Amino acid sequence: MTDPILEVRDLHVRFPVRRNLLGRTTVENHAVSGVDLALAPGETMALVGESGCGKTTLGSTIVGAQRATSGEVVYDGLSLTAMSERRRAPYRRQIRMVFQDPFSSLNPRFTLRQIIGDPLIATGEARGSELEDRIAEMMRRVGLSPDYMDRYPHAFSGGQRQRVNIARALIVNPRLVVADEPVSALDVSVRAQILNLLRELQAELGLTYLFISHDLSVVENLADRVAVMYFGRIVELADTASLYERPRHPYTEALMSAVPIPDPALKGRGGRILLPDELPDPADPPPGCAFARRCRHAEAGRCDTGEIPLERDAAADPLTGRAVRCVRRDELDLQGIAVTPS
Ligand SMILES: Nc1ncnc2c1ncn2[C@@H]1O[C@H](COP(=O)(O)OP(=O)(O)OP(=O)(O)O)[C@@H](O)[C@H]1O
Ligand code: SF4
Ligand SMILES: [Mg+2]
């Protein structure tokens, strides 16, 4: 891999959930537990996993909206997590987040001019006609008419609001964008338009994406690589085609079995794998594999003790190569699906 634009090193994020009478934390939620990731410039990495697995927490920690408990976020070789707030400030423009819900993430009392222009207005970077021109240019780029600049968000559909969100993220010319479920609140008919827009903007502006989704079917045609997250950990990391064709972690296989296939005869696979609803308690992580209680391949004595490491294939690139967190990674023959060419 060329020098990564972003590296996440052994990142942990814990939230206090209970304190004693002295105000000391006695119970913590382990939202992110030792994540390592590296993104190459210009690539799209998907971060996929079910609700509550820590995707948003990881994304917010990368953009600096959430503090890391330990570990590092390294951007362009510089550790952002080691920096003071003041030194970090300029980097906040280079790594931006697009939020999931286009309805609640836009302040209803502000016009699109105020919302999209906010990062420029707040720093005084642009004013008057220059500010106006930059907002208008950004609006055109995301497919919104600058005539709407003085309207309020309520006048717009979900898809248009998500365009506003994207414009707000991109107006400061970031290099890396964390897109947190940017289409999951949208109607299916609008999803493809927003995904296409993100793809076009990436090609035009040379952006790197970390694209968060709970659904593997959304990322198939978008991502170069996929990181599968479970219970605060990465459990599988692979290029998109290899992951879809041959998942090597049982949790990936279960997520894959939920991807709708237009013509099963073409793609061939078994049925949907329904997981028992037995998520571990994030305040009390179990020993061994966190997926063990739900895994149909679990073996007592092997899967429920010790720490199961994320292991990379021997010949693989140490930063980007395929990695799997499962003691049975080399012995299972799991069911994948063929990737639809985009
Ligand atoms: N501010 C907080 N305080 C306490 N716990 C939190 C906080 N934010 C998140 N958590 C907990 O951290 C874990 C991960 O949450 P997170 O929102 O990152 O998951 P997610 O994968 O983005 O889920 P979703 O798909 O529902 O958006 C959950 O157990 C959640 O309850
Ligand atoms: S380590 Fe064991 S329980 Fe965990 S995914 Fe692998 S086979 Fe299943
Ligand atoms: Mg989330």
Tens digit of pLDDT for each residue in 287-340? 999 999 999 999 999 999 999 999 998 877 777 789 999 999 999 999 888 766
Lowest mean pLDDT among 19-33, 60-74, 186-200, 214-228: 19-33
* pLDDT (0 to 100) of residue 105: 81
Between these two residues, 262 and 195, which has the higher pLDDT value?
195
Q: Give the Cβ contact number of residue 165 at 10 Å.
A: 25
Protein residue closest via CA to atom 6 of ligand 2: 326
Q: What is the mean pLDDT of residues 29-42?
A: 96
CA dihedral sign, ordered 169, 44, 340, 249: negative
Distance between Cα 51 and ligand 1 center (Å): 8
Q: pLDDT averaged over the chain?
A: 92
The model's pTM is 0.94
* pLDDT (0 to 100) of residue 264: 58
* pLDDT (0 to 100) of residue 260: 79
Tens digit of pLDDT for each residue in 5-24? 999 999 999 999 888 888 88
Q: What is the mean pLDDT of residues 188-212?
A: 96
- Spans of all domains in the chain: 6-94+174-324, 104-173
* CA dist., res. 214 & res. 228, Å (int): 10
**Is residue 37 classed as helix, strand or coil in its secondary structure?**
strand
Q: How far is C-alpha 162 from the chain's CA centre?
A: 16
Those residues with Cβ within 8 angstroms of residue 306's Cβ, 6 or more apart along the chain or in another chain? 287, 288
Q: What is the pLDDT confidence band of residue 35, given thresholds at 50, 70 and 90?
A: very high
Those residues with Cβ within 8 angstroms of residue 261's Cβ, 6 or more apart along the chain or in another chain? 267, 269, 337
* pLDDT (0 to 100) of residue 269: 60
* pLDDT (0 to 100) of residue 128: 92
Cα separations (Å) of 252 from 51, 228, 231, 259, 281? 15, 7, 13, 11, 21
* pLDDT (0 to 100) of residue 268: 54
Asked whether 280 lines ligand 1 (CB < 6 A), one says no
Distance between Cα 275 and ligand 3 center (Å): 20
Between these two residues, 44 and 342, which has the higher pLDDT value?
44
15 neighbors 180 (Cβ within 8 angstroms): no
For residue 55, give the nearest of 6, 97, 92, 107 by alpha carbon: 97
Residues surrounding ion ligand 3 at CB below 5 Å = 56
Q: What is the mean pLDDT of residues 66-73?
A: 97
Tokens representing 244 are: 């879809």
For the cut 90, the answer to whether the pLDDT of residue 213 exceeds it is yes
Ligand 2, closest atom to CA 308?
1
Distance between Cα 14 and ligand 1 center (Å): 10
| Assigned architecture for domain 6-94+174-324 | 3-Layer(aba) Sandwich (3.40)
For the cut 80, the answer to whether the pLDDT of residue 102 exceeds it is no
For the cut 80, the answer to whether the pLDDT of residue 270 exceeds it is no
Distance between Cα 328 and ligand 2 center (Å): 6
141 neighbors 133 (Cβ within 8 angstroms): no
For the cut 80, the answer to whether the pLDDT of residue 152 exceeds it is yes
Ligand 2 neighbours (beta carbon < 6 A): 249-250, 289, 291-292, 295, 297-298, 303, 308, 326-328
* pLDDT (0 to 100) of residue 99: 86
Asked whether 96 lines ligand 1 (CB < 6 A), one says no
For the cut 70, the answer to whether the pLDDT of residue 263 exceeds it is no
Tens digit of pLDDT for each residue in 168-189? 999 999 999 999 999 998 998 8
Ligand 2, closest atom to CA 290?
4
